[in-house]
Amino acid sequence: MSKKKKLQDEDYPTTGHEWDGIREYDKPMPRWWLWTFYLTIIFSIGYVIAYPAIPLVNSATPGVLKYSTRMEVREHIDAVNAQNAEIEARLLSTPLEQVAADADLSRFATAGGNSVFKTYCAQCHGAGAQGFKGYPNLQDDDWLWGGDLDAIEITIRHGIRHDADDDTRYSEMPKFGEILEEAEIAQLTEYVLSVSSQDHDSSAVVKGQSLFADNCSSCHGETAQGDREQGAPNLADALWLYGGDREAISHTIKNSRFGVMPAWQGRLTEAQIKQVTFYVHQLGGGE
């Protein structure tokens, strides 16, 4: 068996550092490693010279190649816009109700509307427009403000309770928790449950109906079927935006609800507004 060779001090010089008998040898790096390191330094200097790299106060050094990913994207967008310019002009000059009859316009509006919807609308309404609690399902035929093309376009343009737009759709339900007694709110809750054909306390319905007529019918209608002119929901169809069980209805009566939607006019182009209007209308619930 060979014996392990013990290195002598003269075999390799040390740095002079020692701790607990452990000494640090002063061995040079492999030449290939050093050359690789030098090459990366040269490359980095070349990169800084050629491409935008050093941040300044409001921009960065442009580099001798003047390359910009932002400009590259801008060029791609301009190319697509130029390609679609003709059909976009046709879309803008065609009334929305006539778009479906033109196969090319219909495909263009649907594809563009789908893109706009997934970019700006899906965060609230869902990728499939199925909605969430507090955000309407756009696939069904239950509309607060109307589901024809004109009504949908107005909603998209001006939003819901968007204070910065003078033409926004606006409705407001009082907080009846500050107006009615707890017992009256309970009776009113039972009446709303009854008109939506849910289990309810029959002994409270008569008084609840009277309270509804005095406090709610001016917006929701005498039969609780809502009023689109005011954005008042139909309470008799068992389709609920914030939930339709006893607890949710009581909470709505006490505290009201106040959902908002941005106005997209000025943020989307006219073509994009028409596209997303057409897209939403053809999802299944359009009138």
pLDDT of residue 211: 97
pLDDT in tens, 222-264: 999 999 999 999 999 989 999 999 999 999 999 999 999 999 9
Is the pLDDT confidence value at 112 over 60?
yes
pLDDT in tens, 157-194: 999 999 999 999 999 999 999 999 999 999 999 999 99
Mean pLDDT value across residues 46-54: 93
Overall fold of domain 176-255: Cytochrome Bc1 Complex; Chain D, domain 2 (1.10.760)
Mean pLDDT over each residue of the chain, to the nearest integer: 92
pLDDT of residue 3: 59
Q: What is the DSSP string of 219-252?
A: HH-TTS--BTTTTBPPSSS---SS--SHHHHHHH
pLDDT in tens, 65-77: 989 888 899 999 9
Instruction: Please report which confidence band the pLDDT of residue 221 belongs to, taking 50, 70 and 90 as the band edges.
Output: very high
pLDDT in tens, 2-43: 555 555 556 678 888 888 888 888 888 899 999 999 999 999
Domain(s) labelled CATH 1.10.760.10 in the chain stretch across: 90-167+271-281, 176-255
Which CATH number is associated with domain 90-167+271-281? Answer: 1.10.760.10
Mean pLDDT value across residues 46-65: 90
pLDDT of residue 4: 55
